[in-house]
Chain A
Amino acid sequence: MSEETIFAKMHSAIENYDADAAIAAANEAVTAGLDPAVALEKGFADPIRKIGEAFERMDIFLPELVMAANAMKAGVEVLEGALRAKGSAVVKKGVVVLGTVEGDIHDIGKTVVGAMFQANGYEVHDLGVEVPAPRFIQAAEESKANVIAMSALLSTTMLYQRDVIELLRNKGLKDKYFIIVGGAPVTQKWADEIGANAYGRDAIEAVRVLDAHTKEWAK
């Protein structure tokens, strides 16, 4: 099977939000002896970028974005396995630990951000909602994350974003992570006040912000 045919199958799997097809196509790429890093870029990265753009234009909606991100994740796991077998690793833009802060049960905004990060080449560890401050740090340390992303949808819960940063500072870990905050009541002023590295008004801006800072943690 030609390289083009395999890439076409990988594209189609993402475009049709089909995780099983993504796994099958990734396996075909590995069996055909394609470089997994090249297969990842040409097979999965191109269509997932288009999915992200379509979501921005509102041509597709959240369920499609989530399904496409899940399909990509399934396929990438196969390619990662092949890379590990060769003794190398997938080059990712970064590893993100993401969650909604303690006392806050709002999920959708955070899910959109997670799916957009994933669709743009970041490895995402979604901790869910009502995440206590120590859990963000524990998860970031365990997953060797570069980024901690915190969502807060209420005026009364955004102060937990401050607590995570304060705890990081107390542990001497503040400069180890790029910290981005967002959510309805959150502003750039608040981000500056609590010492976050960045503020993302929405998922699209959050991706742009991270993309603009990848060099900071690649050092």
Chain B
Amino acid sequence: MNFKEVAKRAETGPLIEANDFLMQRVAANVLALKKEYDVKWDGKSLINLDDQLADRCWQAGKELLLRSGLYSMNSRRVIQFSKDEIDDALRLVPSQIIMGEGKEQKTAYHRGVEDPRPPFVMSGPFNADTHESMFIKLNEAFAQERMIDCLFLPGYLKELDGQMIRPNSGLSSRAAVLYGEWAREAVRRAGRPGMPIVGHSVMALNEMACTNEAYGLRKTDPRAMVLLSELQVDDVTMARLGYYLAYGTPIYIAHTPLVGGYGGGPDGTAIIGVASFIASVLLGSEICHVGPQHIKYKTQTNNHSLFLGSLVNQATNRNSRIITTTSHTTAGRAGSDQYAYEFSALELAVVTGGSNISGPRPAEPLGFNNVSPLMGRLFAEVGYAAAKLSREAASGIIEQLFAKYKDAMTLETAPKGAPFEQLYDVQKLVPTAEHQACYDRVKAELTRLGVPFCN
């Protein structure tokens, strides 16, 4: 199905209220499909080990999209898809996508469950609030980590010259231009001028101003867009999509199913996750990102979200060629050991399920620049190691990691960490001795627990 047809249906589909869509089409159907396909979490497991459950979850998710459709929030119309259209889209979805330029051209690919090939690693500030004074330095430090394939979401510019930026304002366009220029400058300084950059500069239509072949984000850089929970799309996303599809950039669509929301627990929410993966493909996505949210914890490393991440990826990667990736948001913040234990647990759960990796970032950064490029390196290393593990082997390590942080996994109780400028010598662009010691300590402990690092 092409974008023209999807956009047309956003104007002509059945007209209904958003609440009715969410309650009658999403919540009611998830409830029915959970029973129909026997998709049930046992209440204990942190990772799915049951292939049949994964397959039933896939069938239920596909059926959910067929029954519910995708809701256009602004036109209040449902974009409906037929079974044949869904099957066609899944048959034609690319299983690999090229991005970046020159020596830094990279290929992201579909991975299967327990696929021994390493995941494609996307890491960067992950659009945590990034101060303009540190924007280039921070991104350069991420880009100089050679295991990171793609610079991921170089950071929100919340303010410029001390002035907060209002969406759709002139300043917002200026922020988008600078986002593109500074991200490009950062990868140039790191000696990787063609390094792909997943971009999503500001939450407004004028974010497209980040595009500039010479100085900003290029045709070969993926552009990220987000479906709203659950199974909803807004005009800004559709407008950006229309432009970026025509321009020819790789398309990266994220969805953020909410545990405790309209899908209920992790099992019902996984069904929504599958439906959202397929909806993303129908919109033209080539890399499909799941970033589950949690109504209570707000993180992706709690017990519900670990299982959900594992199930939704296994379901999708066993039954399709979709290139999936999972974002990693934690309760603990950069600079703490817990931060690394949390993202490692989730990586083990999802990489063994066929996912690529995006992140990490604290769910609640405290102030600007609350991320760490050194942790981006560890994130890549754990991702590579996870690809060597079976789900069964990963399961035991995840249990031990979860035990380390489960008593401090609320945002209030989790370690507060430190911003980039305290974790790094920002002149030399190297980690401080203390931050390096944190990396060494955590890596040694992960090794002891059985994470098979390459070096």
| Cβ of B295 under 8 Å from chain A | yes
Known: A103-B203, A187-B366, A201-B412. 18 other contacts (CB 8 A): A61-B260, A61-B263, A62-B261, A66-B23, A67-B23, A103-B168, A105-B73, A106-B228, A108-B258, A154-B167, A154-B203, A155-B156, A155-B158, A156-B158, A156-B164, A156-B165, A157-B203, A202-B298
Which of the residues B27, B166, B264, B412 comes within 8 Å of A156, measured between beta carbons?
A: B166
Rounded to whole angstroms, the CA-CA distance of A24 and B306 in the bound complex is: 44
| Cβ of B181 under 8 Å from chain A | no
Check A103/B166 contact, CB under 8 A, given A62-B261, A184-B298. yes
Contacting pair B164 A185 (CB below 8 A)? no
Report how many residues on chain B are interfacial, defined by Cβ distance under 8 Å. 34
| Cβ of B172 under 8 Å from chain A | yes
| Cβ of A91 under 8 Å from chain B | no
Residue of A nearest to B203 (CB): A154
**A residues 39-98 with Cβ under 8 Å of B?**
58, 61-63, 66-67
Which of the residues A67, A105, A201 comes within 8 Å of B411, measured between beta carbons?
A: A201
A-contact bits for B344-365, CB 8 A (1 contact / 0 none): 0000000000000000000010
Rounded to whole angstroms, the CA-CA distance of A67 and B204 in the bound complex is: 33
**B residues 153-172 with Cβ under 8 Å of A?**
156, 158, 164-168, 172
Contacting pair B172 A156 (CB below 8 A)? yes
> Cβ of B258: which chain A residues have Cβ within 8 Å of it?
62, 108
Main secondary structure on B side of the interface with A: loop
Which of the residues B31, B165, B234, B263 comes within 8 Å of A105, measured between beta carbons?
A: B234
Interface residues of B (CB under 8 A from A): 18, 23, 27, 31, 73, 129, 156, 158, 164-168, 172, 202-204, 228-229, 234, 258, 260-265, 295-296, 298, 364, 366, 411-412
> Cβ of A202: which chain B residues have Cβ within 8 Å of it?
296, 298
Contacting pair B296 A156 (CB below 8 A)? no
Check A62/B262 contact, CB under 8 A, given A156-B158, A156-B172, A159-B164. yes
Rounded to whole angstroms, the CA-CA distance of A61 and B296 in the bound complex is: 11
Instruction: Give the bracket for the number of chain A residues in contact with chain B.
Output: 20 to 34
Contacting pair A61 B261 (CB below 8 A)? yes
| Cβ of A112 under 8 Å from chain B | yes
Rounded to whole angstroms, the CA-CA distance of A108 and B295 in the bound complex is: 9
Contacting pair B23 A156 (CB below 8 A)? no
| Cβ of A211 under 8 Å from chain B | no
Rounded to whole angstroms, the CA-CA distance of A187 and B23 in the bound complex is: 30
Residue of A nearest to B166 (CB): A159
Check A62/B164 contact, CB under 8 A, given A156-B203, A157-B203. no
- CB-based closest 8 A-B pairs: A63-B27, A103-B167, A61-B264, A155-B158, A159-B164, A62-B261, A154-B203, A156-B167
Can you list 7 contacts pairing A with B, beta carbon distance less than 8 Å? A61-B264, A63-B23, A63-B262, A105-B234, A108-B258, A156-B167, A185-B129
> Cβ of A63: which chain B residues have Cβ within 8 Å of it?
23, 27, 31, 262, 264
**A residues 153-201 with Cβ under 8 Å of B?**
154-157, 159-160, 184-185, 187, 201
Contacting pair A58 B228 (CB below 8 A)? no
Rounded to whole angstroms, the CA-CA distance of A202 and B165 in the bound complex is: 25
Rounded to whole angstroms, the CA-CA distance of A79 and B231 in the bound complex is: 37
Contacting pair A62 B296 (CB below 8 A)? no
